[in-house]
Structure 1
Amino acid sequence: MSDKLIPNEDIETDPRKVEILEGAIGVFLKYGFKKTSMDDVAKSVSISRQALYLYFADKEDLFKEGLRYFFATSFRSADQILNQKKIPIEEKLFLALEAWLGRYVGGKSSEADDLIATSKGLVSGLACSYEEKFYLALIEAIRDSKLNTYYIKKGIGPEQITNTLQAMAQGFKFSCDSNASFKIKLKEAIQVICAPIL
């Protein structure tokens, strides 16, 4: 299987495949790549291992498709939020960053420390591609907001605001032990950045 992105319809028109991918992500986050077996994934979604192999050739194939599904759905959710014209910028930033980075905060166990290295080895460039798309979408949303009008007068452009927001959100993603604490810290950070326009 190539490293090209799987079109959304290839995954998301099959509810059973979506259920398997969601279950697989949870199992990989719990056990890591090396310790996860196809049996573990099959049990998590209540199907036989043989049925799982009808969807995925092996564990590597399942992991690759899980990553593609995760990035595609996370980006799509965040991008849809950023394109909503009626949502205030502070709410838009919070919801988009939460959709992009907060989905599994606190869900990764210490046994899953091999996931980043494995993902780089199996699907090169996938994360970078989606991170770039999200970065550009975030810049565009800020550029079209009152936030940009205020900060541009101070010599601060939307790229700098985006870099700051992403650095803070990434830090919270890795330092928070739950999605709830991630949301609290993210909301506080966005309030600080948006304070001049609130």
Structure 2
Amino acid sequence: MIVEYSFIEHKFTVYHKSVNRSVSLLTYSVFAVIIHNMIIKTENKMIEVLKTFAHNGYQKTSMAKLGDAFCISRQALYKRFRSKELVLDWLVCEINAYALSGMKQALADGSKTMTERIVLGFDCWTGRYVDTLRSSPHSAEIMELGIIVARNIAGDGPTVAEKIRLLIARELVIEGIVVDLAEGERFAFVMYMASKGLTLSVPDRNSYLEKITEMVQTVIRS
């Protein structure tokens, strides 16, 4: 799992300036473990909720079934989210947060080739959900709903998908693969559309990674 620890590092830096170094290091270690465990638990819930929507379809997914995914009662889930629509909003927000964080960290990994970095980023974005989505006849419906919700959440601002494509475009410019940001954005959009298509067509995650790698290599070399 790829996790961005900038939030933890920021807290540590602030704390480090105000207290004894040995104490701050201990506090940082404990704090990092707590946050890491919270991230793992959130991701596990996120995957279970996605499985529930994908397995049943949006219309037939009940709050009781979603409560099972969260390992809480239907009543407790209503107290937290109030409606199925808000559960879907939460799911999209969590998936997008992981996607943006994962792509940033993948693109920053200077030990890998440009193709490897982009592929790793796409795996964080959509690849890791392929097996869940491909096991369901409702995968296209859930993906389209996710895109609509993401646009509604973004409002007048850029969606997470647009932010990720811009990250890729900038990295392509930095690496000298494209001449300017406009060309980089065109390349990134082609990759994005190919990734969407693969998510709904390949049989499993391994096939997705194989095909997305071929596609990225082709686009970069074109």
Q: Indicate yes or no: 2:88 matched with 1:63.
A: yes
Q: Which runs of 5+ in 1 are unaligned?
A: 1-7
Matches within 5 A, 1:38-187: 38-108=63-133, 109-116=136-143, 118-119=145-146, 124-126=151-153, 129-148=159-178, 152=179, 157-187=183-213
Distance 2:55 2:215 in 1: 29
TM-score relative to the length of structure 2: 0.68
How far is the alpha carbon of 1:144 from its aligned partner?
1.3
Q: Which runs of 5+ in 2 are unaligned?
A: 1-6, 9-35
1:42 alignment partner AA: G
Distance 1:140 1:112, change over 3 A: closer
C-alpha distance after superposition, 1:89-135 (max 9, x if no partner): 12111111221221211422114554355446655434761111011
Give the root-mean-square deviation of aligned CA atoms.
Answer: 3.1
Partner secondary structure for residue 71 of structure 2: coil
- 8 Å CA contact 1:90, 1:191 repeated in 2: yes
TM-score relative to the length of structure 1: 0.75
Q: Indicate yes or no: 2:216 matched with 1:190.
A: yes
Distance 1:35 1:159 in 2: 38
Moved more, 93-102 or 41-50: 41-50
Distance 1:184 1:118, change over 3 A: closer
- 8 Å CA contact 1:81, 1:95 repeated in 2: yes
C-alpha distance after superposition, 1:15-66 (max 9, x if no partner): 6555433321221111111111111122234332233234221211111111
- 8 Å CA contact 2:92, 2:149 repeated in 1: no
Distance 2:118 2:132 in 1: 23
- 8 Å CA contact 2:150, 2:160 repeated in 1: no
Distance 1:171 1:121 in 2: 17
Moved more, 161-170 or 33-42: 161-170
Q: How many residues align?
A: 182
Which entry has the higher C-alpha Rg, 1 or 2? 2
Distance 1:122 1:101, change over 3 A: closer
Partner secondary structure for residue 210 of structure 2: helix
- 8 Å CA contact 2:199, 2:208 repeated in 1: yes
Distance 1:189 1:172 in 2: 10
Distance 1:43 1:163, change over 3 A: closer
1:30 alignment partner AA: H
How far is the alpha carbon of 1:78 from its aligned partner?
1.0
Relative contact order, CA 8 A, sep 6+: which one is greater? 1
